[in-house]
Amino acid sequence: MDVLTLPAEIRQVAAQARRQGRTVALVPTMGFFHAGHVSLMQWARAHADVVLCSLFVNPTQFGPAEDLSSYPRDLERDARLAAEAGVDALFCPEPGTMYAPDHGTWIEVPELAAPLCGATRPIHFRGVCTVVAKLFHLTTPHLAVFGEKDWQQLAIIRRMVRDLDFEVQIVGRPIVREADGLAMSSRNKYLTAEERRAAPHLHAGLQRLQQLVDAGERDAAVLASELRSWYGQHLAVGAEDYISLVHPETLVPASRLEGPTLAAVAWRLGKARLIDNLLLQPHP
């Protein structure tokens, strides 16, 4: 596996693969890999001739009070895991090679970026869209693979690709969880022992919602209230960021469940801000 640091290098690798008629898959990441990241790479390996993975802690998607400087990093371990997963080239640029000192061009999808995580991270998705667009230009992938844990991010990138006519298929892959249900995240490293014991209740509450839907409940406000009450009983540590039931593509709040509806939650546990979601399926 090649480890590349310059945009010109990854552009050359991708262009050569394209010239050879090979299918290129890109897996964009911020590193500190866990089994969720590895599953994306393995899926890409099974569906493309050439697998490129970017590892870039993108400064433009962090707010001034967020954890850019402390975000966990372990390049040596990440490179080993990527190679074992079948990645052909790992792209690890420095911020100065991705953004000029006077960089002033941004890509935004305001309608989808405003709710959920965007309410408390107002510049986050602007940074995500801009860096992902830059990566798409550099690598011209046929496929780009993202995890569904960041469902809002996935919806925004799909809209960006549609609106700007990027010739890339966006692939969303299921959340990978710990044995107790906690969604895998690089930021789980921040959890104390007590917080880690409590964290699986985030997913358990979402499963409880599906049980209520299976029992016939369709009122979104009732479901949100039930979930908030459930967390009050079972997730005593930390604090709610949001609990929302929304349309899975438009992210517009739902009033009633007329079809698949996304239940999305964010919870602050100490230094960690955990997100999770579940696509609720109402059956006739």
185 is in an annotated binding site: yes
86 is in an annotated binding site: no
1 is in an annotated binding site: no
Nearest partner of 235 among 188, 198, 183, judged by Cα: 198
184 is in an annotated binding site: yes
Which member of 37, 142, 201, 203 is catalytic? 37
221 is in an annotated binding site: no
186 is in an annotated binding site: yes
Q: Collect all residues with Cβ–Cβ distance below 8 Å to 98 and sequence separation of at least 6.
A: 7, 56, 58, 131, 134
Q: Give the whole-angstrom CA distance, residue 257 versus residue 281.
A: 8
189 is in an annotated binding site: no
3-state secondary structure of 57: coil
Residue with tokens 């969303």: 172
47 is in an annotated binding site: no
The yes-or-no answer on residue 37 being catalytic is yes
Task: Give CA separation, 245 vs 126, 146, 166, 185, 224, in Å.
Answer: 23, 22, 29, 22, 7
31 is in an annotated binding site: yes
12 is in an annotated binding site: no
Query: Is the backbone of residue 119 left (phi > 0), alpha (psi -120 to 50) or beta?
Result: alpha
Q: Give the whole-angstrom CA distance, residue 63 versus residue 124.
A: 7
Binding residues for ATP: 30-37, 147-150, 176, 184-187
Catalytic residue list = 37
Binding residues: 30-37, 61, 147-150, 153, 176, 184-187
